[in-house]
Chains A and B, each alone.
Chain A
Amino acid sequence: GESVGLHLPTLSVQEGDNSIINCAYSNSASDYFIWYKQESGKGPQFIIDIRSNMDKRQGQRVTVLLNKTVKHLSLQIAATQPGDSAVYFCAETITTSGTYKYIFGTGTRLKVLA
């Protein structure tokens, strides 16, 4: 992921509205993508994943969209709740020589306004 400097992009959303968090990935050979949520003082927690042979996947209140043409990933959260306030990271997966590693994006802070 590329650095966007010291300031984390922030998305402020009214409670009950839908949130869309975007991520650009760097490697066209990446074949698997994950979204993580990180609450203050905690490690990242898995939200949803998608393979490169799909363009959409839905979970509970969340949808991930993948556009391989422009190397873009988005996370949609329906009916955003205060508990959704966190930093969200996308990660692309590169598989090499029998193992794999993630490349993380820099993250987006989601603030839910009451």
Chain B
Amino acid sequence: DVKVTQSSRYLVKRTGEKVFLECVQDMDHENMFWYRQDPGLGLRLIYFSYDVKMKEKGDIPEGYSVSREKKERFSLILESASTNQTSMYLCASSLYPWDGSSYEQYFGPGTRLTVT
């Protein structure tokens, strides 16, 4: 069974703290993604990675960085957390559809981060 796990379901941090969100997938997927989800705004892409040590900025990368040292693990880092980064963070992974197969992304359960 396909599995994407995230290190925490709920997290409370103070303004200015460095925050690490971890994501692990067990499907040997090339692609991994970090989104944030806010009411009425849907899912917005922060960063994605299509290979180990590779990363690409998404639509809202400001204030975030990522790390992918191993294929199965993709970390999202908030260098100095701010209150406007309070959100639900979702990690996803997928194969690259080289052979015209599905673009389906598999999502983790999410981490609800509150920055006070």
Contacts and interface: CB of A to CB of B under 8 A. Distances in A.
Interface in A1-23: 1, 3-8
Chain B, interface size category, equals 20 to 34
Interface string B25-57: 000000101010001111111001010000010
Interface stretch (B64-72, B73-81, B106-114): B106-114
A7 B40 contact: yes
B40 A46 contact: no
B42 A49 contact: no
Given A99-B56, A99-B96, A46 B104 contact: yes
A89 B110 CA distance: 16
Interface residues of A, number: 28
A104 B43 contact: yes
A44 B107 contact: yes
Nearest to B43: A104
Contacts of B108: 43
A44 B33 CA distance: 13
Contacts of A43: 4, 90, 92, 107-110
B103 A6 contact: no
A89 B42 CA distance: 8
B50 A99 contact: yes
Interface in B93-108: 96-97, 102-108
Contact of B102 (A1, A49, A106): A49
A42 B31 CA distance: 21
Nearest to B98: A98
Contacts of B92: 43
B61 interface: no
Contacts of A107: 42
B46 to A, nearest CB: 11
Interface string A49-72: 100000000000000000000000
Contacts of A49: 102-104
Contacts of B4: 43
Interface string A75-114: 0000000000000010001000011111111110000000
Interface of B: 4, 31, 33, 35, 39-45, 48, 50, 56, 58, 90, 92, 96-97, 102-110
